[in-house]
Amino acid sequence: MIKRTLKVNGVEKFVIAEQDDSLASVLREKLGLTSVKIGCGTGQCGSCSVIIDGKLKRTCSLKMKRVEDHTEIITTEGIGTPTQLHPIQIAWIAHGGAQCGFCTPGFIVSTYALILSNPKPSREDIRDWFQKHRNACRCTGYKQLVDAVQDAAAVMRGDMSADDLLFKMPADNRIWGSNYPRPTAVAKVTGTLDYGADLGLKMPEGTLKCALVQAEVSHANIISIDTSEAEAMPGVDKVVTYKDIKGKNRITGLITFPTNKGDGWDRPILADEKIFQYGDAIAIVCADTEKHAKAAAAKVKVELEQLPEYMSAPAAMAEDAIEIHPGTPNVYFEQKIAKGDDTTEIFKNADVVVKDNFYVGRQPHMPIEPDVGFAYLDDDGKLCVHSKSIGLHLHAAMIAPGLGVELENLIMVQNYAGGTFGYKFSPTMEALVGAACLATGKPVFLNYTWYQQQTYTGKRSPFFTDISVAADKEGKLLSMETEWICDHGPYSEFGDLLTLRGAQFIGAGYDIPSIRGRGLTVATNHAWGSAFRGYGAPETEFGSEVLMDELAEKLGMDPFDLRYKNIYREGSTTPTGQTPEVLSLEEIFDIARPKYEEMKKWASATSTDEVKCGVGLALGVYGCGLDGPDTAEAEIELNKDGSVTMFACWQDHGQGADMGVLGTAHEALRPLGLAPEQIHLVMNDTRTCPNGGPAGGSRSQVVIGNAIIDTCRTLMDAMRKSDGSFRTYDEMIKENKEVHYHGKWSAPATDCDENGQGSPFSNYMYGLFVSGVGVEIATGKTQVEKMLLVADIGKINNKLVVDGQMYGGIAQGIGLALTEDYEDIKKHSTMIGAGFPFIKQIPDDMELIYVETERPDGPHGASGVGEMPLTAPHAAIINAIYNACGARVTHLPARPEKVLAALKG
Active site residues: 867
* CA neighbor of 669 nearest in space, from 741, 730, 738, 598: 741
Query: According to DSSP H, which parts of 143-280 are helical?
Result: 143-157, 185-190, 196-200, 228-231
CA gap 850, 838 in Å, rounded: 26
CA atoms within 13 A on the CB side of 323: 10
Distance of CA 821 to the CA centre of its chain: 16
What DSSP character marks residue 862? Answer: B
The CA distance from 8 to 545, in Å, is 54
Q: Confirm if 635 and 647 have CB atoms less than 8 A apart.
A: yes
Per-residue burial over 156-188, b = 16 or more CB atoms within 10 Å of its CB, e = otherwise: beeebebeebeeeeeeeeebbbbbbbbbbbbbb
460-492 b/e (C-beta count within 10 Å ≥ 16 → b): bbbbbbebbbbbeeebebbbbbbbbbbbbbbbb
Q: Which of 211, 213, 215, 226 is nearest to 301 (CA)?
A: 226
CA distance 574 to 596: 26
Sheet (strand 11-17) strand order: 11-17, 2-8, 72-74, 49-52, 55-58
- Give the DSSP H or E segment for 487: strand 477-487
For 646, the enclosing helix (H) or strand (E) is strand 644-648
Q: Write the CB contacts of 684 (distance below 8 Å, at least 6 apart in sequence).
A: 392, 413, 414, 648, 649, 650, 651, 652, 657
Spatial distance between the Cα atoms of 497 and 521, rounded to a whole number of angstroms: 10
- CA dist., res. 492 & res. 496, Å (int): 8
Residues 6+ apart with CB under 8 A from 886: 903
Q: Look at residue 64 and give its three-state secondary structure.
A: helix
Strand 383-387 with 49-52, pairing: unpaired
* Contact of 386 with 429, CB cutoff 8 Å: no
Alpha carbon of 836 to those of 239, 487, 549, 622, 812: distances in Å?
35, 22, 28, 25, 9
Q: Which amino acid is at 66?
A: R
Separation CA 384–CA 903 (nearest Å):
56
Length of the chain in residues, anyone? 905
Quote the CA–CA distance of 766 and 586 in Å, as a whole number. Answer: 11
- What's phi and psi for 307, nearest 5 deg? -120, 165
